[in-house]
């Protein structure tokens, strides 16, 4: 199947019937019918439908080098700056559709897998077959428009051993409990597989530490499996979808990407799905040399921009409806959003302008502006939400529902809740949107999620710092100024 449409996406997920647990009970029927998934899946189906719509198909797909079919453009390895531009346009198209609210818009994992694929040869240094596995898996995903979640963080408890009563020590860290002719058998738990249940497969790998390890950990592994393999169990968090009404819950009813705890209990991972085994250093090199974080950051920056544009629009519309657009305090706040938006846009542009080919033939965007964006967005996003709260004030607290506009009080509502140049029903819709983004449980999770998208701040900052190769240049300029020799 080439680039799929919405129905195909939904059908495949429903067919898989993974073992999903929600509030203590296993989900029985079709996932797409469940209140915790329905809205999200319908939103994602819209994205996939765009792939087959004449208006968008050209921009969202490209011709498969193996089958000639149109396949998802985010799978495409960029080889020229024009390719990067095409990729960006594709990602902005989807980003503008979901307004940056989907951290796991399919192009994110597609991009990550593409990055790994370009550097597959590295894996062959250990055993040639691993490189082969990865290449074939990438092709399989591309040609079948397989969607992915991923997992690499283990629960906190995995970090310490437990002393059992009989004196033995038990670790709950994920591990290979058996290795046989069919594959490896894995047990353990991983945190926060976002959309694990609404994607086809899951990619599991070790965390991308920023330093090279001294010795390989023989227990290291990386693999990908369908989300319904025997022994895999998905535990859902609290659903943040507050209801069906798109008026009352404009975001949570459509964009709540379920996060899951995924439990592996003696799961047999077939050999052809194993990419790394017992080699931390190779795994680390795969990350750094494939440009994984760079390619992904290119996609993410497109998403950030969509979200910032949406936020700016909300804030401007609020100010207008409150007739406050010209107050200095508003100008100051709105300008802060503009500043952030223009900064993000400039960083994106700079990342492409400074792109250069890597040794795998990829046109790699300049990581300096991209990783700069990764440092600043987690700080400015919460600040933007604060702006919405400060501007909206009681208008964000006192939010009546759609039903109130149908009830007996309708006339009063219309009279008392209207805004400047906007009727009460529309203004309330706007403020419910502002609430859902800035102050609802859905909004709370979005803020938290953005804070940690690429790791906690020390990780993100260190990634930028360690890779910043111009450090010596700037020290050299100072030495020159001081008339000191640069050794």
Residues 378-397 that bind a copy of itself (CB under 8 A): 382, 386, 389-390, 393-397
Residues 6+ apart with CB under 8 A from 463: 210, 293, 371, 374, 454, 455
178/332 with CB nearer a copy of itself: 332
C-beta atoms surrounding 341 within 10 Å:
19
Q: Give min distance, CB of 356 to a copy of itself, in A.
A: 15
**What is the DSSP pairing of strand 70-72 with strand 175-180?**
unpaired
169/416 with CB nearer a copy of itself: 416
**Residues composing the chain:** 487
77/457 with CB nearer a copy of itself: 457
Q: Which of residues 105-134 bind a copy of itself (CB under 8 A)?
A: none
Tell which residue, 353, 368, 356, 290, has the closest CA to residue 79. 356
Q: How many whole angstroms separate alpha carbon 298 and alpha carbon 122?
A: 23
Largest CA distance in the chain: 83
HSE on the CB side for 176, CA within 13 Å? 21
Which one of 62-70, 293-301, 356-364, 418-426 is the stretch in contact with a copy of itself (CB under 8 A)?
418-426
Which one of 63-71, 196-204, 222-230, 236-244 is the stretch in contact with a copy of itself (CB under 8 A)?
236-244
Is residue 270 within 8 A of residue 277, CB to CB? The reply is no
Q: Which of residues 70-109 bind a copy of itself (CB under 8 A)?
A: 96, 99
353/356 with CB nearer a copy of itself: 353
Q: Which of residues 19-58 bind a copy of itself (CB under 8 A)?
A: 21, 23-26
C-beta atoms surrounding 423 within 10 Å:
12
Cα-to-chain-centroid distance, residue 380: 18
Q: Give min distance, CB of 425 to a copy of itself, in A.
A: 9
Residue 464 engages a copy of itself in binding (rule: CB under 8 A): yes
Is residue 317 within 8 A of residue 391, CB to CB? The reply is no
Tell which residue, 81, 46, 75, has the closest CA to residue 63. 75
Binding residues: 194
Q: Which of residues 288-317 bind a copy of itself (CB under 8 A)?
A: 309-310, 312-314, 316-317
Q: How many whole angstroms separate alpha carbon 12 and alpha carbon 145?
A: 11
Residue of the chain from 265, 272, 289, 358 that contacts a copy of itself (CB under 8 A):
265
66/171 with CB nearer a copy of itself: 171
Residue of the chain from 153, 208, 213, 268 that contacts a copy of itself (CB under 8 A):
153
- Give the binding-site size for a copy of itself (rule: CB under 8 A): 126
Q: Give min distance, CB of 170 to a copy of itself, in A.
A: 9
What DSSP line would sit under 297-360, residue for residue? Answer: HHHHHHHHHHHHHHHHHHHHHHHHHTT-TTSHHHHHHHHHHHHHHHHHHHHHHHHHHT-EE-TT
Tell which residue, 262, 250, 307, 300, has the closest CA to residue 442. 250
Q: Give min distance, CB of 335 to a copy of itself, in A.
A: 4
Q: Give min distance, CB of 390 to a copy of itself, in A.
A: 7
Q: Give min distance, CB of 78 to a copy of itself, in A.
A: 19
Q: Give min distance, CB of 174 to a copy of itself, in A.
A: 10
339/356 with CB nearer a copy of itself: 339
- The residues facing 329 across adjacent strands are none
Tell which residue, 149, 453, 146, 151, has the closest CA to residue 307. 453
Residue of the chain from 107, 143, 200, 248 that contacts a copy of itself (CB under 8 A):
248
Q: With H, G, I as helix, E, B as strand and everything else as coil, classify residue 376.
A: helix
121/153 with CB nearer a copy of itself: 153
Residue of the chain from 16, 92, 177, 461 that contacts a copy of itself (CB under 8 A):
461
Q: How many whole angstroms separate alpha carbon 366 and alpha carbon 281?
A: 24
The pair of three-digit structure tokens given for residue 103, joined into one six-digit string: 């951290």
Which one of 47-55, 121-129, 253-261, 269-277 is the stretch in contact with a copy of itself (CB under 8 A)?
253-261
What DSSP line would sit under 68-119, residue for residue? Answer: --EEEGGGPPP-SHHHHHHHHHHHHHHHHHHTT--TT-HHHHHHHHHHHHHT
Binding residues for FAD: 194
Residue 226 engages a copy of itself in binding (rule: CB under 8 A): no
Residue of the chain from 123, 322, 364, 380 that contacts a copy of itself (CB under 8 A):
322
Residue given tokens 């207008």 in the structure block: 320
| Contact string 172-211 vs a copy of itself (x = CB under 8 A) | x----------------x-xx-------------------
């Amino acid at each position: 199947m080439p680039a799929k449409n919405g129905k195909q996406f939904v059908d495949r997920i429903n067919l898989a019937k993974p073992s999903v647990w929600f509030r203590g009970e296993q989900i029985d029927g079709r996932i797409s019918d469940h209140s915790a998934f329905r809205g999200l899946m319908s939103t994602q189906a819209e994205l996939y439908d765009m792939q087959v719509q004449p208006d968008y198909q050209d921009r969202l797909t490209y011709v498969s080098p193996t089958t000639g079919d149109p396949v998802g453009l985010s799978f495409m390895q960029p080889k020229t700056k024009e390719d990067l531009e095409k990729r960006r346009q594709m990602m902005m198209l989807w980003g503008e559709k979901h307004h940056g609210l989907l951290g796991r818009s399919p192009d994110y994992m597609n991009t990550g897998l593409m990055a790994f694929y370009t550097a597959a040869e590295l894996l062959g240094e250990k055993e040639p077959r691993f490189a082969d596995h990865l290449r074939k898996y990438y092709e399989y995903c591309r040609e079948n428009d397989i969607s992915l979640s991923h997992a690499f963080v283990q629960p906190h408890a995995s970090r310490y051993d437990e002393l059992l009563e009989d004196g033995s020590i038990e670790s709950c860290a994920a591990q290979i409990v058996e290795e046989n002719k069919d594959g490896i058998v894995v047990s353990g738990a991983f945190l926060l597989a976002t959309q694990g249940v609404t994607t086809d497969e899951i990619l599991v790998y070790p965390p991308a530490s920023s330093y090279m390890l001294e010795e390989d950990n023989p227990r290291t592994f990386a693999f990908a499996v369908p989300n319904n393999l025997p022994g895999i169990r998905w535990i859902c968090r609290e659903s943040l979808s507050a209801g069906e009404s798109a008026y009352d819950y404009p975001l949570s009813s459509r964009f709540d990407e379920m996060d899951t705890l995924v439990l592996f209990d003696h799961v047999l991972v077939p050999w052809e799905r194993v990419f790394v085994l017992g080699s931390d250093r190779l795994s680390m090199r795969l990350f750094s040399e494939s440009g994984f974080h760079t390619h992904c950051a290119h996609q993410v920056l497109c998403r950030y921009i969509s979200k910032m544009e949406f936020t700016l629009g909300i804030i401007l519309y609020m100010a207008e409806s409150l007739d406050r657009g010209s107050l200095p305090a508003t100008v100051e706040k709105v300008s802060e959003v503009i500043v952030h938006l223009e900064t993000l846009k400039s960083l994106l542009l700079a990342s492409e302008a400074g792109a250069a080919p890597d040794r795998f033939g990829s046109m790699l965007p300049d990581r300096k502006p991209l990783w700069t964006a990764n440092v600043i967005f987690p700080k400015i996003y919460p600040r933007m939400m604060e702006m919405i709260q400060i501007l909206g004030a009681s208008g964000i607290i006192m939010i009546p529902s759609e039903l109130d506009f149908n009830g007996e009080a309708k006339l009063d509502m219309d009279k008392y809740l209207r805004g400047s140049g906007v009727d009460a029903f529309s203004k309330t819709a706007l403020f419910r949107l502002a609430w859902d983004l800035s102050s609802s449980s859905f909004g709370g999770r979005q803020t938290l999620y953005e804070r940690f998208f690429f790791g906690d701040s020390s990780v993100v900052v260190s990634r930028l710092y360690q890779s910043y190769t111009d450090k010596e240049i700037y020290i050299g300029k100072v030495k020159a100024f001081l008339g000191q020799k640069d050794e």
